[in-house]
């Protein structure tokens, strides 16, 4: 390795395949001092509401108790370890394990162990068994403007410090009034979770891989915009500015020629309402390690990366609007949903591109490295060009901070 090379600019292929690396990440990243998107506050509307999710591979429940307080809990009975909540969401008075009926309050406290005192004084738990010692393990939560984050580590920084000032400001910009969930997508990708984490931070690929953008002159690297990094690169945002979806002339210097004979039979798909005074039309915000917050025109969504082994990742999309959307704006969001998700005109390719890297990096040469030198080797905010991989290098900075340098 040359002296100018480091893990931020040169990433070994085998990091995407090695089971030992994967286990190390579960310990150092997912159980480490990191915040993870869990759900939205609005998905827990009343006492008894619960949502099940994951931090890495760890099953997690978020509940709202009778007093309205939110609780994060490991979804694992303290007896044998079975899941105590199975459904993705619902309402309940208690969390009861199906196996032997151990039952927990919504704050995680153990309330009932069947046959704790045995039958007619025979059997049962020992006299010194104390139910206080066997509550569901807690997960620390942070509710930042209606986004519920969770962490498995005791020393994780407070959420605002962790996010950084620009990230906080951008979340406030979108979560400035009550939101409502309009639906979910769940997408299975046959690649390592880090390949999706890179992809979401990568502004370089957007107008090349996602040909829909270039074909209809939508989001070009030559448009105004920038790349913002906070927290030494852990958290990043790519954004572009344009007043309308159809604004701007095609620049012949662009990489892909617009196909003159390709048009939209129904251009109403591109109708768009400017919602934010800063005129930002596309903003992809990545919170290390697994949370993505997107605004693509009028589509607003949270994406959660759930690793399921070295070669498999599930992406959970939560698509939302505002509670006070007028009927036309709501329809615009739902029509523009054609742009995003597993069937999205500008995002379906992300479902397969990580798999192509995964399949391309096996066998001979796995010790070779991916190259992330676009725009140099620094991790810093950039406002004059998005032909730059600074945000992807930022991910690897966070990775190195937690996992160390694996060579």
User: Whole-number minimum distance, CB 192 to another protein, in Å?
Assistant: 15
Per-residue 3-state assignment (H helix, E strand, C coil) for 57-92: CEEEEEEECCCCCEEEEECCCCCCCCCCCCCCEEEC
User: Whole-number minimum distance, CB 396 to another protein, in Å?
Assistant: 25
Q: Select the residue interacting with another protein from 7, 73, 332, 337 (CB under 8 A).
A: 337
Q: Smaller CB distance to another protein: residue 88 or 377?
A: 88
Q: Select the residue interacting with another protein from 181, 274, 374, 406 (CB under 8 A).
A: 181
> Does position 265 bind another protein by CB under 8 A?
yes
Q: Smaller CB distance to another protein: residue 42 or 103?
A: 42
Angle between helices 350-360 and 193-201 (to 10 degrees): 130
Q: Select the residue interacting with another protein from 140, 342, 376, 400 (CB under 8 A).
A: 342
What is d(CA 312, CA 310) in angstroms, rounded to the nearest whole number?
Answer: 6
Task: Give the pair of three-digit tokens for residue 9.
Answer: 């600019």
User: Whole-number minimum distance, CB 19 to another protein, in Å?
Assistant: 23
What is d(CA 83, CA 61) in angstroms, rounded to the nearest whole number?
Answer: 10
User: Whole-number minimum distance, CB 338 to another protein, in Å?
Assistant: 6
Q: Select the residue interacting with another protein from 21, 82, 241, 269 (CB under 8 A).
A: 269
Restricting to residues 353-372, which ones interact with another protein according to CB under 8 A?
355
Per-residue 3-state assignment (H helix, E strand, C coil) for 300-358: EEEEEEEECCCCCEEEEEEEEEECCCCHHHHHHHHHHHHHCCCCCCCCCCHHHHHHHHH
> Does position 20 bind another protein by CB under 8 A?
no
Q: Smaller CB distance to another protein: residue 67 or 268?
A: 268
Query: How many CA atoms lie less than 13 Å away from 323 in the CB half-sphere?
Result: 7
Given a contact cutoff of 8 angstroms between Cβ atoms, the answer to whether 245 and 270 are in contact is yes
Q: Select the residue interacting with another protein from 209, 284, 305, 392 (CB under 8 A).
A: 209
> Does position 207 bind another protein by CB under 8 A?
no
Q: Select the residue interacting with another protein from 82, 83, 241, 334 (CB under 8 A).
A: 334
> Does position 335 bind another protein by CB under 8 A?
yes
The sign one gets for the Cα dihedral 14, 20, 26, 32 is: negative
What is d(CA 65, CA 260) in angstroms, rounded to the nearest whole number?
Answer: 59
> Does position 182 bind another protein by CB under 8 A?
yes
| Residue 248 falls in which region: left (phi positive, over 0), alpha (psi -120 to 50) or beta | left
Those residues whose C-beta lies under 8 Å from the C-beta of residue 35, and which sit 6 or more positions away, are: 142, 149, 150, 151, 156, 159, 162, 163, 287, 291
Given a contact cutoff of 8 angstroms between Cβ atoms, the answer to whether 320 and 183 are in contact is no
Q: Select the residue interacting with another protein from 338, 365, 383, 387 (CB under 8 A).
A: 338
Q: Smaller CB distance to another protein: residue 321 or 375?
A: 321
Q: Smaller CB distance to another protein: residue 337 or 402?
A: 337
Those residues whose C-beta lies under 8 Å from the C-beta of residue 218, and which sit 6 or more positions away, are: 212, 245, 246, 270, 346
User: Whole-number minimum distance, CB 41 to another protein, in Å?
Assistant: 17
Binding mask 51-90 for another protein (x = CB under 8 A): -------------------------------------x--
Q: Select the residue interacting with another protein from 63, 187, 207, 290 (CB under 8 A).
A: 187
In sequence order, the β-bridge partners of residue 8 are none
Q: Which residues bind another protein (CB under 8 A)?
A: 88, 181-190, 209, 211-212, 215, 259, 262-266, 268-269, 314, 319, 334-335, 337-338, 341-343, 345, 348-349, 351-352, 355
């Amino acid at each position: 390795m040359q002296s100018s090379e480091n893990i931020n600019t040169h990433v070994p292929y085998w990091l995407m395949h090695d089971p030992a690396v994967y286990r190390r990440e579960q310990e150092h990243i997912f159980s480490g001092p990191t915040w993870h998107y869990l759900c939205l506050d609005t998905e827990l509307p009343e006492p008894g509401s619960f949502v099940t999710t994951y931090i890495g591979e760890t099953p997690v429940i978020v509940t709202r108790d009778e007093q309205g307080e939110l609780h994060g809990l490991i979804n694992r009975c303290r007896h044998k370890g079975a899941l105590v909540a199975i459904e993705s969401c619902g309402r309940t008075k208690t969390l009861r394990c199906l196996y032997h009926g151990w039952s927990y309050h919504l704050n995680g406290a153990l309330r009932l162990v069947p046959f704790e005192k045995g039958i007619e004084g025979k059997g049962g738990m020992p006299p010194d068994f104390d139910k206080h010692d066997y509550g569901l393990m807690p997960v620390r939560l942070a509710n930042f403007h209606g986004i519920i984050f969770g962490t498995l580590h005791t020393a994780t920084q407070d959420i605002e410090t962790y996010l950084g000032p620009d990230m906080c400001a951008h979340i406030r910009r979108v979560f400035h009034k009550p939101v409502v969930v309009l639906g979910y997508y769940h997408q299975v990708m046959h690649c390592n979770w880090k390949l999706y984490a890179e992809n979401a931070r990568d502004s370089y690929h957007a107008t090349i891989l996602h040909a829909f953008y270039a074909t209809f002159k939508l989001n070009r690297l030559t448009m105004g915009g920038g790349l913002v990094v906070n927290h030494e690169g852990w958290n990043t945002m790519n954004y572009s500015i344009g007043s309308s979806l159809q604004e701007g002339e095609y620049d012949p210097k662009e990489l892909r020629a617009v196909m003159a004979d390709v048009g939209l039979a129904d251009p109403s798909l591109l109708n768009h309402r400017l919602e934010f005074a800063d005129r930002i039309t596309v903003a992809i915000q990545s919170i290390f390690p697994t949370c993505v917050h997107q605004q693509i025109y009028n589509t607003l969504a949270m994406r959660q990366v759930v690793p399921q082994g070295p070669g498999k990742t599930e992406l959970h999309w939560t698509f939302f609007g505002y509670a006070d959307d007028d009927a036309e704006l709501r329809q615009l969001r739902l029509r523009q949903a054609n742009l995003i998700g597993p069937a999205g005109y500008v995002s379906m390719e992300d479902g397969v591109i990580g798999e192509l890297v995964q399949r391309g990096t096996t066998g001979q040469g796995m010790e070779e490295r991916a190259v992330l030198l676009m725009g140099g080797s620094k991790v810093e905010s950039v406002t004059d060009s998005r032909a730059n991989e600074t945000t992807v290098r930022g991910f690897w900075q966070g990775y190195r901070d937690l996992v160390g340098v694996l060579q």
